[in-house]
Amino acid sequence: MATTFFHRLRRICFWLHLAIGIFAGVILFVVCLTAALFFLAHEAHHHAEESAGRVEVGEGLRLSADEILAKVWAHNPEKSPKYMTISSAPDQAVQLNYGWYQDPVAVNPYTGEIKSTGDLWTFQVAMGLVEIHRNLALPGGGKVWGKYAVGIATGAMVFLSLSGIWLWWPRHWTWRAFKTGAWFIRGAKGKTRDWNWHNVFGFWTLLPMLVLCVSGIILGYDWATDWTFKLAGDPPPVKKKGRPSANPPPEFVIAPPESGASPLVLENAVRTATAAYPEWDSLLLTLPAPQDPPAVLKMTVLGVGEWLPIYDYAELFVHPYRGEILFTQTFEDINRGGRWKIWMRWLHSGMAFGFWGELLAALISLAGCVLVWTGFALTWRRFFKKKKTT
C-alpha cells in the first residue's frame, strides 16, 4: 500500500517537474546563458579597463584627488561624478563614475588627461548581459514584467532542483545504480545520452544551483530580503532612495564649524584612509556634489589584510572639517541579516571566492543551460518523435 502511494506521488512529481520545466525553460536558458557569458564579458572588461587605464608613471608629483575632480568638472560641467576609485598601483589611472557603473572615465593622475572607458565594447556587452539577466532587457515599463518573469522562472528552478533530486534518487542503492545516475555513460546517444546528461548535471550542480537561485531571489525582491532579515533575527532594512540599505551607518550630527574653518580637502581624507590601512589595494570615495553643503565623507578601502575577498574591506566615515575617522564599519560590524544579504550577493556572482568562485558560478550556469536543453530534448522525444515502425 505504501509502495503504491509513493509510486503515485513520484509520478505526480514527475509530471509537475516536466510541466514546470516546459513553462519556465526558455527564460531559464536565457538567464543561465547570460550569467555564464557575463563571466567572460566581466573578465574581458576587467583586462580591457586595466589596459585602457594603464598610464606611464610620471617623474613629477601625482595630482591630488581635488585636482583630478576639478579637471573632471571642467571637462563636463553639466554632470557631477559620484564615485572616485584610486588604485595603489602607480601605473593605474584614477576612475570616476557618474553613477553605479555609469559613464566611467579614466584620469591620468600625472598629466590630468581624461579618457572615457564607458565606450569600451566589453563594458557595453557586460551591461547588456546584466539587463537581460535581470529583466530580459524589455523596453520601458516592460522591465517590471521582465523582472517578474525572471523571478518566477528562478523560483521554478528551485522546485526543479528539489523535485529533480527526488526523481534521481535510486529506488535500490547499488554502486551500478549510483554510477548510472551520477556519471557519464560512454558512447551514449539519443534519448539515453539526454537522460544521462540530465541526471549527471542535475546531481552534481544541485547545491550550488540552489545557492544561485535562492540568492538571486533574495537580491531581486524586497520581500525576500525582509524575510532573510527576519530569519536572522534582525529588523528588515530601511529603504534608502528606493532601495533597502542592509547596513545603514549611524546618523552623524556635524556641529557648525568655527568661524573661518574650511571644508576638508579630499586629498587629506585619502591620506587619512591610506594611513589607517597601509596595505590598501584601492580606495572608493563617494563624492559630494559641488552645490551640497559639507557632509561626512564615505570611503571604502579594499585590501585591509583579510584573505577572503568578502571580508577584505572597510568603510570609513570622515569628518568634513577635522578629517578624523568618525566611524569604521567592517563585515563583522554588520548585523547578521546584513551579513547574510552580503553573502547572498557575493555568492550569487561567485565573487566571495575570487576568480575561481566566479568561474564556478559560470560553469554552474552553463550546466543550467544543459539541463534545460536535455529536458526539452527528452520532452520532444516523449511526445513528438515518431516511433520506428517495423
DSSP per residue, 165-181: HHHHS-SS--HHHHHHH
Under DSSP, the state recorded for 323 is: -
* 268 and 306, same domain (yes or no): yes
* 36 and 167, same domain (yes or no): yes
3-state secondary structure of 97: strand
Is the residue at 363 inside a domain? yes
* 111 and 136, same domain (yes or no): no
Domain ranges, residue 364: 2-45+127-204+350-383
Is the residue at 198 inside a domain? yes
* 41 and 65, same domain (yes or no): no
* 15 and 67, same domain (yes or no): no
* 161 and 23, same domain (yes or no): yes
The pLDDT of 206-216, averaged and rounded, is 95
* 169 and 294, same domain (yes or no): no
Is the residue at 63 inside a domain? yes
Is the residue at 317 inside a domain? yes
pLDDT category, 217, cuts 50, 70, 90? Answer: very high
What is the overall mean pLDDT for the chain? 85
Q: Using CA atoms, how far apart are residues 42 and 40, in angstroms rounded to an integer?
A: 5
CA distances from 201 to 31, 161, 165, 364 (A): 17, 11, 11, 9
pLDDT of the residue at 145 = 92
Query: Whole-prediction pTM value?
Result: 0.82
User: Is the confidence at residue 243, as pLDDT, over 80?
Assistant: no
User: What's the structural domain count of the chain?
Assistant: 3
Is the residue at 238 inside a domain? no
* 63 and 39, same domain (yes or no): no
Q: Using CA atoms, how far apart are residues 276 and 260, in angstroms rounded to an integer?
A: 28
* 38 and 138, same domain (yes or no): yes
pLDDT of the residue at 390 = 45
* 199 and 252, same domain (yes or no): no
Cβ atoms of 80 and 287 within 8 Å: the answer is yes
* 173 and 311, same domain (yes or no): no
- For residue range 25-60, list pLDDT tens digits in order: 999 999 999 999 999 988 888 887 777 778 888 767
The pLDDT of 337-349, averaged and rounded, is 91
Is the residue at 153 inside a domain? yes
Cβ atoms of 28 and 372 within 8 Å: the answer is yes
Out of 138-147, 150-159, 211-220, least confident range: 138-147
For residue 223, report the phi and psi dihedrals to the nearest 5 degrees: -65, -35
pLDDT category, 62, cuts 50, 70, 90? Answer: confident
User: Is the confidence at residue 242, as pLDDT, over 80?
Assistant: no
* Selection from 46, 217, 220, 27 nearest residue 125 by Cα: 46
Is the residue at 8 inside a domain? yes
Is the residue at 37 inside a domain? yes
pLDDT of the residue at 282 = 92
C-alpha cell at 80: 557631477
pLDDT of the residue at 54 = 80
* 24 and 142, same domain (yes or no): yes
